A and B are shown apart, each in its own frame.
Chain A
Amino acid sequence: MNIKSAQPDRSQAIVALLRVVKIALAIMVVMIFSLGVLSVMALEKFKNTLNEVTESRIGVIAFDIKDTIEQGLAMGYNLAALQNVQDAIRLARSRDSKIASIYVVGRQGETLYRAPDTAPDLKPEAVEKFRKESAKGPLASLREGTFLDAFTNLQNSFSQPVGVLLIKYDAASLDERYIDFRKTFFRQVIIFLFAGVLVATIAIWILLKRFDRVDSILAASLEAEVNLDFDKSKAPPAELAAFKAKHREALDAIIAAEKVLEAR
């Protein structure tokens, strides 16, 4: 079969090109959407996991301090009178460089202990909020600006709340890690999008070209017969043969009638 014999003309080439562009654009939209959904999901998951692991690490430190304080309270000491708390929170702070400050707040909202000593005072409304939130579970957390505030209730041996332990964690480092991860991710998305669309466009181009060639060859074989210029090398496929037979039959009937008119 002489495929090259059926070359499309210029306008057909433009139509074919537009069709390739149309499908490639559709694929690009699908890829942008799919990669976008995957990225949003993955970034969200990364952020959540990072926060979760960080909170759980803060939790290890918080529960350690809480145990120390509550052991003292169990011995009958007053929270304000416990002497080992200041050392405990100072030591705990030294275990993670991202811990900005640790506070132990009394029942009235007064700051009893803090590390470092230079840590700013807590606002009364913030303390009130921590107290309310800490009642909800063993370790609650709130994001306040660049800080992640993790807090837990301190209880005496009768399970009465006597204060709140607050750990202020510098969440800016988490944000930086998230931004770094997002940048790497974005680069990856661009590469995959470009590669995917490129491969898809090449596939579309090749397959549509072949599709059009088959179409052109079939058209050529049809025209050869219709124009009574039958060439055996362009023998039509079975599907077209039935069309041609019927077409020929109709044309012959019309020609027969035309001959009557011509003969008048």
Chain B
Amino acid sequence: MNALSLRALDRYRFLLFAWLLAVVLGTLTFFSYQTTNLFINAMRPDFEAKAVLVSDTIKAQFQRASDLNFDIADMRDLSRFLDDAIDNHPEVVYAVVTIPANRSIQASNKFAKDPRISSELRAHILAKKTAERSQSFGNVVDVTTALPKLGPNDALLHVGVDEKYIQTRLLEIKIDLFITLFVAVVITLEVLFFVVLLTLDRQSQTIRDFLDSVKAGIFPRVRTGNESSSPLARSLQHSIGMVNDRYRALLQQGAAANLTTEPRRMLRKLIGSIDEKFQFSSMRKSMEGDATVIKAIRLPMFIFFFCTDLSRPFWPNFVGGFPPPMAGMDPSLLMALPMAMWALTMMLVTPFGPRLVQVLGVRKSLLAGMVPAAVGTLMCAFATGYMELVIWRCVTAAGFGIVSVTGILYVTMAAQSGRSARSAAVFIGAQTAAGVCGTAMGGILADRLGYSGTLFVSAALIACNCLLVARIISSASPARVSGGENEDEGSLASYAKVLRSLSFVSFIPLAALPPRIVLTGFLLFMTPVVLHNLEYSDAAVGRFMMCYFISNLLFTPLVARVLDRFNCHRSLLLVGSALMGGAVLLFSWSTLVSSLVASMVLLGLGMSLTTTSLISIIPVQFVRECAAQGQGTVTSLLRVVERIGSILGPLLVALLIKSFGFSEGAMILGLTLAAIAACLAVYFYVTRPRILTPSNKQASQ
């Protein structure tokens, strides 16, 4: 048996992907490391110069006292003076004045309390008699300076500088570099997926299509002039083409030949038996594998979501810059209105998604969404008034809604059974990755180009994305191929019929609404407000939120694999709901950095469990509804309902904060989510699929 097989091709394809990723990742990581070193070398002298300056300033004060012939022994409240002197300088740990002759000491208040000051350092300060050189004690560098003569005895000034402060500053820089590196790697991955897909995946897929097709007795028609670059694919094409040609020639010769009855009957019988077993020059569309089809949509979806998320970090500020349309309009309402209108427009547009996909196909539906989104974004960039901005934002939202629902329909309907969660993860993964990258890049671009410039870039990228969609998405989309079974699909009547299902209606508040309320209300609204209240900077708030996005991005594909392998949609949805509640409770209970980070990571995990399960649970949980009204109808209805959660989220959380305050409000939200998770468990128990045993079968009959 020859060891070489088609798996070798897959292995080299994987190796190519892994190598390229390793090269890009390695280069960028090493580059980041070098950048940090450059930073350290460039900035360290500035920090040290500042420490010396602080020391000199204190010394100058004493010089003035010396000029006025003060005696240091007579100076009252020296501690307060030293406190004031080092106030506003976070890198300075203490300032101490000692008179070595009589071992007296006057120190800033920080000196007594600060845990960074070791007993060894305290002993050193008391024992030091001359100002010779600076000395390190742990992370504190004690800089000793001789003070001007103040009375009969010499006095020394000790200033402690925290070496770690420089490292803290550098740590911030490192974290920012890491975030940028992460964004770059995510973008690299998306592009690599696409490049490998276009070069090797399709080639392998063509080979597998030919092999599978012929194994099933189908010899597909091979178009001339469309030959693959792969010798194996060409060889297969050639072999299939040869059989097709010989069969065609056989039919032509048979028709032209003047045969007697018996050979004619025999020929007819032979051709009949051939036709029974095989199909030649089959017009059947090449079964391009679902994995390739689904992967093909990932890059355009990623770019689209990336473009729309570019405005996320500055949108409220951008809106706040417009004069209010009515005098006396509340500024917070002014900022919130376009966000609410966005969610509302998406909610109104989403139900038309399946119908649009049925009528136009996926490619045209995506374009029908992307064009208004590009125009809306462009016009937002040039908007001159508040109302104009709101109108164009609604146009963008309409486009976003169409693209969003088309994308999710595309991946769920193109997926083979048993791989729906992984397919949904392609969509969610692209959306989350775009969320991470778009938010980070939007801030950088807005700093450089301004708000309008960033929106212009976003519109231009969406327009380019339209070209990509037109080029790579097949016009005969899977949704269109599989559609047409239910003529009512996507109509208002079909939605109404689904809403009559008690099981579906009960599912909405228990599973569909909470993730959206948590996302828009807790993560996007409450978290920044609470963290700002805890005096965290904008950058720190951004970093906390990145923990959520990164966790969500990392867990989503894992969750999808678990879902597809074990088919445990209900359990994971339940665990996800409980984790979300737990994350919010953790956030409300502790303000420690580690707790806040853990809360964000838990929330990311909970959200990946719920959102991935929510899409793939539809055909499992609502079998009857999907069979009667179509999976597209149920999916898009669920998406519409989710939008209600997006609108309700900030309003509910604002109400909670207003009524109970930050901590209690978060705790009530967390407890409510935990209670909802408990109710969801009861719901799943009641609606669990029943195995028909002989006894209950009889009873049901």
Whether A50 touches B46, Cβ cut-off 8 Å, given contacts A38-B180, A261-B254, A264-B263, is yes
Return A126 CB to nearest CB of chain B, in Å: 25
A163 contacts partner chain B, Cβ-Cβ < 8 Å: no
A122 contacts partner chain B, Cβ-Cβ < 8 Å: no
**Is the CB–CB distance between A218 and B4 below 8 Å?**
yes
A77 contacts partner chain B, Cβ-Cβ < 8 Å: no
Return B288 CB to nearest CB of chain A, in Å: 18
**Which has the most chain A C-beta neighbours within 10 Å: B31, B195, B267, B280?**
B31
**Is the CB–CB distance between B2 and A1 below 8 Å?**
yes
Of chain B, the residue at the smallest CB distance from A139 is B88
B623 contacts partner chain A, Cβ-Cβ < 8 Å: no
Return B445 CB to nearest CB of chain A, in Å: 9
B35 contacts partner chain A, Cβ-Cβ < 8 Å: yes
Count of A-B residue pairs with CB < 8 Å: 269
Of chain A, the residue at the smallest CB distance from B173 is A45
Whether A42 touches B177, Cβ cut-off 8 Å, given contacts A31-B27, A34-B28, A253-B273, is yes
Of chain A, the residue at the smallest CB distance from B447 is A44
From B135-143, B242-250, B666-674, the one touching the partner chain is: B242-250
Of chain B, the residue at the smallest CB distance from A235 is B2
In whole angstroms, how far apart are the Cα atoms of A127 and B343 in the complex? 48
**Is the CB–CB distance between A207 and B15 below 8 Å?**
yes
Q: Which of B184, B246, B441 contacts A254 (CB 8 A)?
A: B246
Q: Which of A46, A95, A211 contacts B56 (CB 8 A)?
A: A95
Contacts of A228 in B (CB 8 A): none
In whole angstroms, how far apart are the Cα atoms of A46 and B230 in the complex? 50
**Is the CB–CB distance between B35 and A61 below 8 Å?**
no
A81 contacts partner chain B, Cβ-Cβ < 8 Å: no
Within 8 A of A (CB), among B246-264: 246-247, 250, 253-254, 257-260, 263
Contacts of B219 in A (CB 8 A): 250
**Is the CB–CB distance between B13 and A211 below 8 Å?**
yes
A133 contacts partner chain B, Cβ-Cβ < 8 Å: no
**Is the CB–CB distance between B211 and A237 below 8 Å?**
no
Q: Which of A19, A44, A223 contacts B444 (CB 8 A)?
A: A44
Return B454 CB to nearest CB of chain A, in Å: 13
Contact with A along B295-330 (1 / 0, CB 8 A): 000000000000000000000000000000000000
In whole angstroms, how far apart are the Cα atoms of A116 and B1 in the complex? 93
Within 8 A of A (CB), among B265-288: 266-267, 270-271, 273-274, 277-278, 280
A80 contacts partner chain B, Cβ-Cβ < 8 Å: no
**Is the CB–CB distance between B27 and A195 below 8 Å?**
yes
Whether A41 touches B211, Cβ cut-off 8 Å, given contacts A57-B50, A203-B19, A260-B263, is no
Contacts of B258 in A (CB 8 A): 264
A200 contacts partner chain B, Cβ-Cβ < 8 Å: yes
Q: Which of A38, A222, A236, A249 contacts B35 (CB 8 A)?
A: A38
A246 contacts partner chain B, Cβ-Cβ < 8 Å: yes
In whole angstroms, how far apart are the Cα atoms of A8 and B235 in the complex? 13
Of chain B, the residue at the smallest CB distance from A20 is B199
Whether A247 touches B35, Cβ cut-off 8 Å, given contacts A34-B184, A60-B57, A211-B200, is no
**Is the CB–CB distance between B5 and A239 below 8 Å?**
yes
Interface size on B, residues (CB 8 A): 100
Whether A222 touches B232, Cβ cut-off 8 Å, given contacts A27-B24, A196-B27, A214-B4, is yes
From B186-194, B468-476, B488-496, the one touching the partner chain is: B186-194
In whole angstroms, how far apart are the Cα atoms of A184 and B34 in the complex? 11
B42 contacts partner chain A, Cβ-Cβ < 8 Å: yes
**Is the CB–CB distance between A211 and B12 below 8 Å?**
yes
Within 8 A of A (CB), among B202-240: 210-211, 214-215, 217, 219, 229-236, 238-240
**Is the CB–CB distance between A38 and B444 below 8 Å?**
no
Contacts of A243 in B (CB 8 A): 210-211, 214-215, 236
What is the predominant secondary structure among interface residues of chain B facing chain A? helix
Whether A210 touches B12, Cβ cut-off 8 Å, given contacts A53-B46, A253-B270, is yes
In whole angstroms, how far apart are the Cα atoms of A56 and B90 in the complex? 11
In whole angstroms, how far apart are the Cα atoms of A87 and B545 in the complex? 51
Q: Which of A30, A239, A253 contacts B192 (CB 8 A)?
A: A30
Within 8 A of A (CB), among B1-39: 1-6, 8-9, 12-13, 15-16, 19-20, 23-24, 26-28, 30-32, 34-35, 38-39
Q: Which of B20, B200, B234 contacts A219 (CB 8 A)?
A: B234
B592 contacts partner chain A, Cβ-Cβ < 8 Å: no
Of chain A, the residue at the smallest CB distance from B247 is A254
In whole angstroms, how far apart are the Cα atoms of A30 and B187 in the complex? 8
**Which has the most chain B C-beta neighbours within 10 Å: A23, A34, A199?**
A34
B89 contacts partner chain A, Cβ-Cβ < 8 Å: yes
A22 contacts partner chain B, Cβ-Cβ < 8 Å: yes
Interface size on A, residues (CB 8 A): 93
Contacts of B84 in A (CB 8 A): 67
B682 contacts partner chain A, Cβ-Cβ < 8 Å: no
Contacts of B259 in A (CB 8 A): 261, 264
Return A219 CB to nearest CB of chain B, in Å: 4
A251 contacts partner chain B, Cβ-Cβ < 8 Å: yes
**Is the CB–CB distance between B42 and A242 below 8 Å?**
no
Return A188 CB to nearest CB of chain B, in Å: 6
Whether A239 touches B4, Cβ cut-off 8 Å, given contacts A37-B180, A41-B444, is no
B47 contacts partner chain A, Cβ-Cβ < 8 Å: yes
Contacts of A22 in B (CB 8 A): 195, 199
**Is the CB–CB distance between B6 and A237 below 8 Å?**
yes
Return B25 CB to nearest CB of chain A, in Å: 10
**Which has the most chain B C-beta neighbours within 10 Å: A23, A31, A218, A238?**
A218
B54 contacts partner chain A, Cβ-Cβ < 8 Å: yes
In whole angstroms, how far apart are the Cα atoms of A208 and B13 in the complex? 8
Q: Which of B49, B60, B176, B277 contacts A64 (CB 8 A)?
A: B60
In whole angstroms, how far apart are the Cα atoms of A168 and B682 in the complex? 70
Whether A38 touches B31, Cβ cut-off 8 Å, given contacts A64-B60, A210-B12, A243-B214, is yes
**Is the CB–CB distance between B54 and A60 below 8 Å?**
yes
**Is the CB–CB distance between A181 and B38 below 8 Å?**
yes
Whether A41 touches B274, Cβ cut-off 8 Å, given contacts A23-B199, A222-B235, is no
A54 contacts partner chain B, Cβ-Cβ < 8 Å: yes
A230 contacts partner chain B, Cβ-Cβ < 8 Å: no
**Is the CB–CB distance between B277 and A185 below 8 Å?**
no
Contacts of B217 in A (CB 8 A): 246, 250
Of chain A, the residue at the smallest CB distance from B239 is A226
In whole angstroms, how far apart are the Cα atoms of A239 and B260 in the complex? 43
Chain B residues in the interface with A (C-beta under 8 A):
1-6, 8-9, 12-13, 15-16, 19-20, 23-24, 26-28, 30-32, 34-35, 38-39, 42-43, 46-47, 49-50, 53-54, 56-57, 60-61, 64, 84, 88-89, 169, 173, 176-177, 180-181, 183-185, 187-188, 191-192, 195, 199-200, 210-211, 214-215, 217, 219, 229-236, 238-240, 242-243, 246-247, 250, 253-254, 257-260, 263, 266-267, 270-271, 273-274, 277-278, 280, 441, 444, 447-448
- Interface pairs (8), CB distance under 8 Å: A8-B231, A27-B195, A35-B184, A38-B32, A42-B180, A57-B49, A211-B9, A240-B211
Closest 3 CB pairs of A and B: A34-B184, A196-B27, A237-B5
Given contacts A27-B24, A49-B173, A256-B270, 4 further A-B contacts (CB under 8 A): A1-B3, A31-B28, A42-B39, A260-B263
